[in-house]
C-alpha cells in the first residue's frame, strides 16, 4: 500500500493554497436500514478533509460527487447525503455543489468539469465574473507547497515521477480550474491523473492513509490476516486501474 501512499503523511488544511474548488470523491457511505443519512465506511476521512478545507476558506465552493452503484439506480446519490451532513455541521448550503450521478473516478472527473463549466457560464451571464477566470482565486500563484506531491509539504512520490504524474514546468501554466482534490491516499495517483486529463490543475489532499508510522514489525506481521489481504486487494486494484488508463485508455 505504501507504493501508492508514499511516506509524507496527511497535510494540514491551513497550509494549502487557495483554489477554485474543493472536490471530495465518493466512496465513504453505505446504506443501512434506519439510517436516513446512511452510515460511514472506512473512508470517512474524505468527508472530514473536505470540511476542514472549506472551513479554512481554501475555496469558495465544496463539491461532492454523486456516487452511486448501477445495481441500485434509485438509491440516493452519495453526494446529496454528504451535502446534508455538511450543512448539519455548519457549512453554508450555498457553498456546496453536487455533481450528477457518477459510477467511477473517470466519470467523477468529467462530471466535476461539467459542473464547474456550468457554474462559470452562469456567473458570466450574471455579470459576476469575466469569462477568463472561475473565481478570484484563479489569479493566485499556482506554485503551491503541495502541487504535484502526494501530500501537502511532502516529497514527490517516486511512483508519481515514474508514471509521469508530477507536473513539469511546461504544464505549470495550465489554464483550467485549480482544485484541491480530496480522496484516499492509495487512490490519489489514479484520481489525480484522471482529473489532470480533464484540464484541471490539481492540488492533492490525500487522507484515509492505510499505513501507520507507528507500525512495528513483529512476529504477528508474518501471520496471514484478513486486514492484510484486504490491503493487498486494494493495492492490486489501484495498480491495475493506473495501468489501464496509462496503457489501454490513454
Q: What is the pLDDT of residues 169-199, one digit of tens each?
A: 334 445 689 999 999 988 898 899 899 999 9
Cα–Cα distance, 4 to 6 (Å, whole number): 6
More confident residue, 43 or 128: 43
Q: What is the pLDDT of residues 59-100, one digit of tens each?
A: 999 999 999 887 777 788 999 999 999 999 999 999 999 999
What pLDDT does 168 receive? 40
Cα–Cα distance, 156 to 31 (Å, whole number): 37
- Cβ partners under 8 Å of residue 106, min gap 6: 194, 245
More confident residue, 9 or 217: 9
What pLDDT does 244 receive? 57
What pLDDT does 98 receive? 97
Cα–Cα distance, 127 to 79 (Å, whole number): 29
CATH architecture for segment(s) 2-216: 3-Layer(aba) Sandwich (3.40)
Cα–Cα distance, 215 to 236 (Å, whole number): 21
Q: What is the pLDDT of residues 144-169, one digit of tens each?
A: 333 333 433 344 444 444 444 444 43
Cα–Cα distance, 105 to 44 (Å, whole number): 17
β-strands 29-30, 39-40 pairing: antiparallel
Q: Model confidence at 138, in pLDDT bands (50, 70, 90)?
A: very low
What pLDDT does 33 receive? 82
Amino acid at each position: 500500500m505504501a507504493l501508492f501512499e508514499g511516506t509524507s503523511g496527511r497535510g494540514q488544511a491551513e497550509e494549502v493554497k487557495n483554489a477554485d474548488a474543493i472536490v471530495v470523491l465518493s466512496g465513504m457511505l453505505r446504506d443501512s436500514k434506519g439510517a436516513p443519512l446512511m452510515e460511514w465506511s472506512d473512508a470517512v476521512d474524505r468527508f472530514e478533509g473536505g470540511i476542514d478545507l472549506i472551513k479554512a476558506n481554501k475555496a469558495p465552493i465544496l463539491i461532492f460527487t454523486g456516487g452511486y452503484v448501477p445495481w441500485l439506480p434509485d438509491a440516493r446519490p452519495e453526494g446529496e447525503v454528504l451535502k446534508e451532513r455538511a450543512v448539519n455541521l455548519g457549512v453554508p448550503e450555498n457553498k456546496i455543489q453536487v455533481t450528477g450521478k457518477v459510477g467511477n473516478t473517470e466519470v467523477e472527473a468529467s462530471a466535476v468539469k461539467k459542473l464547474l463549466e456550468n457554474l462559470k457560464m452562469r456567473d458570466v451571464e450574471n455579470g459576476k465574473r469575466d469569462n477568463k477566470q472561475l473565481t478570484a482565486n484563479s489569479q493566485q500563484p499556482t506554485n503551491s507547497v503541495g502541487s504535484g506531491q502526494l501530500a501537502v509539504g511532502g516529497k514527490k512520490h517516486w511512483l508519481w515521477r515514474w508514471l509521469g504524474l508530477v507536473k513539469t514546468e511546461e504544464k505549470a501554466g495550465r489554464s483550467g480550474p485549480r482544485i484541491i482534490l480530496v480522496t484516499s491516499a492509495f487512490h490519489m495517483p489514479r484520481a489525480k491523473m484522471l482529473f489532470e486529463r480533464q484540464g484541471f490543475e490539481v492540488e492533492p489532499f490525500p487522507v484515509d492513509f492505510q499505513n501507520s508510522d507507528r507500525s512495528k514489525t513483529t512476529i504477528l506481521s508474518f501471520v496471514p490476516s484478513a486486514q492484510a489481504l484486504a490491503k493487498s486487494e486494494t493495492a492490486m486494484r489501484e495498480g491495475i486501474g493506473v495501468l489501464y488508463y496509462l496503457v489501454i485508455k490513454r
